[in-house]
Structures are given as structure tokens and as C-alpha cells.
Amino acid sequence: MRMMLVTLTMLLAIGTLAACGTTPPPATPDAAPVAGGPERTIFVAAETAPCTGVAPMDCLQIKESRDAEWQLYYDQIEGFAYEPGFEYELQVREETIENPPADGSSRKLILIAVVNRTPVGNGTAANIPADLLGKQWVLESFGAADAQQPLLEGTAITLGFDEEGGRITGSAGCNNYFAGVSFAGDALSISAPGATQKLCPDVEGIMEQEYAYLQLLEQVTGFTLEERSLTLSAGDTVLLFRSGPPSTGAREETPAPPANPLAGTEWTLVEITVGEVVTPALPDAPASISFDPEGEAGRYAGTGGCNRLAGSYSVNGDSISFEAGISTLIACPEPIMAQELQVTEALLAATRFEVVDDRLTIFFAGADGNLNTLLFSRASANDANPIPNTIPPTSGDQLPPLAGVAWNLIAFVEDGTETPALPDAPANITFDGAGRYSGTGGCNRLAGGYSMSGDAITFDMGLSTMMACPEPIMDQELRFNQSLNDATRFVADASTLTIFFTTASGGEGELRFAADSTSTTPAPSGEQSLTDATWRLVSLNQGGVAVPVLADTTPEITFEADGSVAGSGGCNRFFGGYTLDGNALTFEALGSTEMACEPEILDQETAMLTLLGAVTNYERAEDVLLLNTDTGDTLVFERQAEDTMGTNELTGTAWKLTTLVSAGTATSAIVNAEIGREAGFQFLPEGRVSGSGGCNVINAGFTLAGNTISFGPAMSTMMACAEDVMQQEFAFTQALEQIETFTLEGDTLTLSSADQQTQLIFERVAE
């Protein structure tokens, strides 16, 4: 197995080298570059232009914004392999060359990443060859052409082409993924994939295999198609697929069936059959599925035994397909996680179904191409609903001694063993008294619903900011979430709270909390809580994937007390009305201006307005507002304070982290050597910061008043980097939450906590 992991890493390195292509000419001996220059984005045209340097030659055409004019670039971009016919978006670093040759430039550009590679000419994003459509492509092997490696036993990676959306979708073995795709003849380019964020620990090496596969997809440059075989090329590395059953991503129009026997039904898993192996469903972790009553195309919800699942499905006669939807992200013990993985992968590979009396059989394609089955029994009216989609709010006369204070986690108790909470990653929970809770497991912010009856309590696992965190913090957070998900009862007084939960062994565990007497409880969500601020969009969560808003755009919304709403989608202004009933929220008669925008901004704006039209309810936790749809999609906003807007001494400045002080101990910042990324951020005019902790892109709102400053919840991408970089990034984001004051002395910015024990010290980045 170790050999397999080493091989995958080598394959990824080979693909990366192949993507770089030609080697730039060596620098003259006395032309030493000065490292650490500023990073920026440039665009490269699809064709070169004649130019004259020392002699006539062809020059690249570059520009720094999409609407700028092309400019001739007389040098090479180090590490970049240009191919005519493609327009590129590159992330580059500019470095100064000391003692350049007399006929050479004093500056050079070095490639950091190819952000996008788009064919120009006959190819378009929707120009997918017909022979690729309507099929599910199953990966057989990948690697060097003469040294192909099979997939790990018990894993399957799939690929489907969606002509309408101009994208690919599939399973990477654990998580579902999607990416944009462009064709031009036999040339093919794939954008950076987005993916769900499940953890699948049951197969050793599956996460490394998935990471290698997704990285190679970005490096694909061409394809060949022969009957049922598809080969994707990434330099010297190839990915070999064969066609399987029809892909769930296909969107071919089919006649509507006269009736859907699944609509409005609920089913409990009985057994899973793969080949000749029949595995009974786990009695202590029942898996189930329910279908809404919307006809041949609707929504499903369920559980694989641990996490709650939801998505869309469609039927045509006895054919059925499921679209990947959303899932909570709780890590579960074995064998529950193995069962859940089997169920979710089976649904995505489903091809047809059969209902006989009170039995439902769903047929799905296995990794070997043969049909396997999920067998369900109909849930009776006396069964407890295994798929609670909502938890009713706690009524006023049930108000427990939980609201009015934040509860700080002290310890876990499980199977007689007490484990203290991590002191450097405090976990806590706050109840609003109206059926909503918020808090953190030590890294990410959490929010959801809760319900009580006497001393019984249950939690509806809601949303998380989903940042990547180092161990052991991630272990604590997963354990915290799992315990809340399995909660059964509680005991509380004015200063202590104990939440009891069912352990994996069937015993009773405890979450022990102590009251934080300095905290106050946010007011229960209600109609008045939306009109007190302008709300700035942070991310669009669709299909289980959180997509941060584009840089330099400020989508926002404002609610007025008269029932009107107005805002911006990032380009156009919109307006309309809204109706509130408790936490139920709907928008009516939304309209907007029709200015021309950059395509990616218009796509973001269209997605935002489409989701607004589908909103049915909202949640508010502190300065975060969630607008939710019945399909599980969410718009995440943060409160925009008035005094963050306009000009101040930090607006428009960029800063590089030099020192991080934690508990009074100073540590020098490190640079991510893999991608040359430093920790730091820029203060943007719209009242937020955008930057990195050294690995992931981080965005957060900020509020200024005199020399005081505070930061809102940080939203982050989910890349994994070296452990020391991840440790720094976690400390960086945690420190932001504690910052209260700043001092600015020349080119040094110091952000400090109230007790000065936590500080972030920055150096100004020259413009």
C-alpha cells in the first residue's frame, strides 16, 4: 500500500512536470533573481504577435484585466508552456533581477499556476462530442502510458459529461466532484474541480488517490475516443476510462411517465447485494430514503446510517437517476461509515428500480460494470420517521435554562474515559431560545436547529464554514459534531450543562460544559432581526459545495421594514418584496437592472438571484445570515457594518505576516514552499479582507472604530498543505477572532488581542 501511495505521488509530479512543458533558457550567471516578489493575475492571448527585440520575433500578448488592451511581452514567462489557440489566465510572481544583462529586462515573471485555459476558435464549453454524452465513464487505471496503475480495491471513480452545463461530474472515489470543460478538436481543458468534503477513512489510501485524480484532471490537455474506451492525456500521464451505464449527469429529454410509484413514499434499507455478497443493513444505524410527492422529478432525503443526505432524482418508467446533493459531514465509526459510503455511491450509480408490494429494489452499476442492488422495505405509518427534515422550534413555555449564555466545552466522557477539551481550540455552543443553536467545535462555526421535550433534546445538524483544520483540532470537532448528532437528553443549572449522547458502543456519553458568564445570548431570530443591517454575500452553497464570492465584487441585500428589499448582485441592482412569518421567508417580484457584466460576475449574479427566488427560510447566528431553500442550497451573508465602508487608513493596503504571537510566544511566519504563498491579506474598500494563511484563500469582514478593529467569521477554501503551513494557517484564523485593536507605525501593522497575548504583526507590501 505504501508503494501505491508513493507511485500516486510520483504520477502527480510527472503530470505537473508535463504541464510545464519546455524549460526556460538559463539565466546569465550574473543575473540573480531576487525572490519573494508580488503575485498577480495576468491573461495571455490565444495567438502571438510580430515584434522586434534584438531581432524580429513573435511576442506573447498579455494584459492584467479582462477589459484591458493586449500588450506585447518580449520575454518568456518562466515555467509556462504556451500553446497557440488557447487563452490563459495565469497567476504569476514578478521578481527583480540584480545586474541584468545590458540587453535584458530587470524584471521577470514566474508562473505560479495556470488558473484557466480556454480554447479560442471552434471550441466552446458546450461543444462536447456527442459520443461522450449519455454515458458514465468508469476509470480503470491511470499513470504513465506504459506503467498504468489500477485503482485501489473496493474503490470506483466515475466521469460524466453534461452538455447543457458545459461541465463534468462524477465520483472521485469518496467525494462527488464537478468542473468546467472546454473542447477544441481533440484538445480538452478542465477547470479546477469543486468537490464535496467527506472523509472516507475505511479504505487506506482512498483520499490520496482521490487527490491525485483531481489534480491530474486539471492538467488534461487532450483526449482520444475509441468505441467504449476514453483516454484523457496529461503530458506523459494518461487516464483510461471505459463506458458504463448511462451517467446521472446526462440531461436528455425523455417523455414523462404516467405515474411515479416512489412519490410520497418512505423506505428503510434491508440489505445491500454486490455480486454474490449480501450484506444486511446495520440494525443500530438504520439507512433510509424518502421521496417527495412532486411527480417524476423531485427531491429525496435520507441517511446512510450516520449523515443526512438530500438531493434530486428523476424517473422515466423503471429508469431512475439521482443527482448528488448535500450531506452533513460527520465522521462516523466503522462499520457505519462503510455502509454509508456504499449507499451514497450506489444511489449515484443507480440505473433502474422495481417496486413489488412493500419492497423497493434499486439496481446500480458496480465497479465491474455488473448490476448490484439496494433492497428497501416500506416504512410503516407506525415507524418513527427516520428522515426528519426539520425540527420544530422550542415553544416559549419550554424555554430551558440554556438560553442567555454561551456554554464552553470542558470535557468529553465516553466509555468511562474523560477527555479534556483542547485549551487552544475552545469549543462552545449557544442557544437562542427559539429553536436555533450556534457555536464552534474548535475550528469551524456551526449553526442548526434543536428541539426539546422535558429533559430530551435533539439537534438538527445544519451548516458549517467547512475550513480545513490541523489535527488534533479536527478530531475534536468531528467528535463534537457526532456527539450533538447523537444527543438524547440534558441536565443543566445556572453554571453547568451536560448533554448526554449515545456512543458507538451503545453506551451513554457526556459533553460537559461550563457557562461563560461574560457572554450574552443573541436575540431569537425574528422579523426585526433582518432590518438592522446591510448583509454582504460571502458564499453560495449549492449541491453541497461552498463557492466563495468573486474577488472585487460585493453582492449584498438590505431588508426594509415596509416589506421591500433591495441590493446588488455584484453588477446589477435588484429590488422586490419579501414576506416573513417567524423564520419562514419568501421573496416576491424580484427585478433587476440589465447592465452588461463580465461573464463570471454575471454567472455569480444569476446564481444569487435564482437562489433568492427559491428561499423558504432563514437562520441568523450573531453576524451571519443564512438564506435557505427547501433543496438544501444556501446563501451565506455576513453583517456589513456602516463604519467599515468608505476610506480609512487601512483601506486598499496589503500586508505580509511576519510574526505571530500566541500566548505571549512569538513565532516567525513561514512561506508555503510548495506554491510560494505567504500569509497576509489586503483590506478592501467594501469592508472585508482577502488573503491567505499560507495555504488557503481566506475572506472575512472587518469593522473599524478609532484604533479598534474586529473581524467576522473567516471563510476559506479547503486545500491541504504541509502540516507546518496548516498549523500556521489555523493559528492565523484563530487569532483573527481574538483581535480587538491595531497600531500602525510606518510600514508595520500590529493587530492585538485585549490582553496583548495574541498578536499578528505585518509588513506593508509595496504597491
pLDDT at 459: 86
Say if residue 555's pLDDT is above 60.
yes
Say if residue 750's pLDDT is above 90.
yes
All three cell numbers of 323: 443527482
pLDDT at 520: 46
Ranges 23-32, 128-137, 301-310, 517-526: which has the least confidence: 23-32
Say if residue 303's pLDDT is above 60.
yes
Quick one: average pLDDT of 332-356?
Answer: 84
Ranges 97-106, 118-127, 503-512, 517-526: which has the least confidence: 517-526
pLDDT at 367: 67
pLDDT at 686: 65
pLDDT at 324: 62
Ranges 20-34, 284-298, 694-708: which has the least confidence: 20-34
Say if residue 694's pLDDT is above 70.
yes
Say if residue 531's pLDDT is above 50.
yes
Ranges 86-90, 245-249, 415-419: which has the least confidence: 245-249
Quick one: average pLDDT of 699-728?
Answer: 78
Quick one: average pLDDT of 703-715?
Answer: 78
Q: Which residues, at least 6 apart from 402, have a Cβ–Cβ distance to it below 8 Å?
A: 431, 433, 490, 492, 497
pLDDT at 481: 85
- Which residue's C-alpha cell is 465491474? 368
pLDDT at 718: 63
Q: Which residue has the higher pLDDT, 407 or 113?
A: 407
pLDDT at 385: 37
Segments in 306-431 forming alpha helices (H): 336-348
Amino acid symbol at 490? F
pLDDT at 125: 40
Q: Which residue has the higher pLDDT, 145 or 142?
A: 142
For 420-469, the pLDDT digits (tens) are 999 888 898 988 766 778 788 887 777 777 888 888 898 876 556 556 67
Instruction: Confirm if 678 and 698 have CB atoms less than 8 A apart.
Output: no
pLDDT at 105: 64
Ranges 131-145, 194-208, 394-408, 476-490: which has the least confidence: 394-408
Say if residue 381's pLDDT is above 50.
no
Phi then psi dihedrals of residue 172, to 5 deg: -90, 10
Ranges 34-38, 431-435, 730-734: which has the least confidence: 34-38
Please report, for residues 137, 182, 235, 330, the alpha-carbon distance to residue 232 in angstroms, rounded to integers and kept in the order given. 11, 13, 10, 34
Quick one: average pLDDT of 500-528?
Answer: 71
Phi then psi dihedrals of residue 195, to 5 deg: -150, 155
Say if residue 15's pLDDT is above 90.
no
Please report, for residues 39, 76, 401, 433, 460, the alpha-carbon distance to residue 451 in angstroms, rounded to integers and kept in the order given. 49, 63, 14, 10, 8
What is the rounded distance in angstroms from the CA atom of residue 315 to the CA atom of residue 319? 5
Grouping H, G, I as helix, E, B as strand and the rest as coil, residue 685 is: coil
- Residue 246, burial from CB neighbour count under 10 angstroms (0-12, 13-18, 19+): middle
Q: Which residues, at least 6 apart from 281, have a Cβ–Cβ distance to it below 8 Å?
A: 268, 269, 270, 271, 272, 287, 305, 339
Instruction: Confirm if 216 and 15 have CB atoms less than 8 A apart.
Output: yes
Residue 524 binned pLDDT confidence (cut-offs 50, 70, 90): very low
DSSP 144-186: ETTEEEEPPTT---EEEEETTTTEEEEE-SSSEEEEEEEEETT
Say if residue 644's pLDDT is above 70.
no
Quick one: average pLDDT of 569-598?
Answer: 82
Say if residue 119's pLDDT is above 70.
no
Residue 657 binned pLDDT confidence (cut-offs 50, 70, 90): very high
For 50-65, the pLDDT digits (tens) are 776 656 677 888 998 8
Q: Which residue has the higher pLDDT, 167 or 374?
A: 374
Q: Which residue has the higher pLDDT, 86 or 525?
A: 86
Ranges 117-121, 494-498, 548-552, 563-567: which has the least confidence: 117-121
Pairing between β-strand 417-420 and β-strand 428-431 as defined by DSSP bridges = unpaired
Instruction: Confirm if 739 and 758 have CB atoms less than 8 A apart.
Output: yes
CA 366 and chain centroid, separation:
28
Q: Which residue has the higher pLDDT, 532 or 581?
A: 581
- Nearest CA to 444 out of 201, 713, 194 is that of 713
pLDDT at 245: 53
Say if residue 332's pLDDT is above 90.
no
DSSP 620-666: EETTEEEEEETTS-EEEEEEE-GGGSS--TTTT-EEEEEEEEETTEE
Ranges 341-355, 631-645, 671-685: which has the least confidence: 631-645
Ranges 128-137, 213-222, 656-665, 709-718: which has the least confidence: 709-718
pLDDT at 521: 42
What is the rounded distance in angstroms from the CA atom of residue 286 to the CA atom of residue 500? 21
Q: Which residue has the higher pLDDT, 102 or 668?
A: 668
pLDDT at 123: 36
- Residue 71, burial from CB neighbour count under 10 angstroms (0-12, 13-18, 19+): middle
pLDDT at 326: 59
Please report, for residues 63, 482, 567, the alpha-carbon distance to residue 346 in angstroms, rounded to integers and kept in the order given. 47, 24, 42
Say if residue 480's pLDDT is above 70.
yes
Quick one: average pLDDT of 529-544?
Answer: 79
Say if residue 512's pLDDT is above 90.
yes
Say if residue 328's pLDDT is above 70.
no
Mean pLDDT, the chain, integer: 76
Q: Which range, 5-14, 193-202, 349-358, 380-389, has the best average confidence (pLDDT)?
A: 349-358
Quick one: average pLDDT of 598-620?
Answer: 87
Quick one: average pLDDT of 344-361?
Answer: 86
Quick one: average pLDDT of 76-94?
Answer: 83
All three cell numbers of 559: 431588508
- Nearest CA to 709 out of 685, 736, 732 is that of 736
Quick one: average pLDDT of 403-431?
Answer: 87
Q: Is the pTM of this model over 0.85?
A: no
- Which residue's C-alpha cell is 463534468? 168
Q: Which residue has the higher pLDDT, 214 or 593?
A: 214
